[in-house]
Structure 1
């Protein structure tokens, strides 16, 4: 919901940039599920989603001897959604930073 509010203040060009960057950076549900199917005990799906710490813990415990891997069956969709939301928020922050930098350089050029 917060990214929806953040997106309302973006221009059309910025929204296109956001969509383009999301296409490149977002995590695929299909890939995450395939990784869960084949590497659940080794935490491959967690590594893919950027959860390195818990991925290492799963790898060392063989997915909590399968229990943790089974629990991820129910948590994986939420993890994918959270990861993609975080990526989107990061991109929006970068766009705003670029926008502020442009405004500052234009203001500095106007003072000179």
Structure 2
């Protein structure tokens, strides 16, 4: 929800850059579900979503013998949304850093 307020501060060009970067960096729902289906028992989908610690735990316990994989069936959509929101926030922060650097460079000259 915080990204809505941050996006209001962006120019049209920056919003286009945001959309372009999101298309490139966002995590795919289809890929995540395929990883869950084929490698869910060893946490393949969690590695893909950047949850390395719990991915390792799933690998070492074989997903608690499948129980964890069944639980993730209900959690995957939320994990994908949270990761994509996190990626969007990172991109917005990068755009703001670029804007600030550009403004500071212009005032220094």
Residue 9 of structure 1 is matched in structure 2 by 9
Q: Deviations over 1:8-65 (max 9, x none)?
A: 1100000000000000000000000000000010100000001111101100000011
- The correspondence of residues 1-112 of structure 1 with structure 2, limited to 5 A, is 1-109=1-109
Q: Could you say what the CA RMSD is over the residues aligned between the two structures, in angstroms?
A: 0.5
Q: Distance in 2 between matches of 1:62 and 1:56?
A: 10
Moved over 4 A (4+): none
Q: Distance in 1 between matches of 2:64 and 2:28?
A: 25
Gaps of 5+ in 1: none
| Larger Rg, first or second structure (1 or 2) | 1
- Normalised to the residue count of structure 1, the TM-score between the two structures is 0.96
- Aligned pairs, how many? 109
Gaps of 5+ in 2: none
- Normalised to the residue count of structure 2, the TM-score between the two structures is 0.99
Q: Deviations over 1:51-89 (max 9, x none)?
A: 111101100000011111110000000000000000000
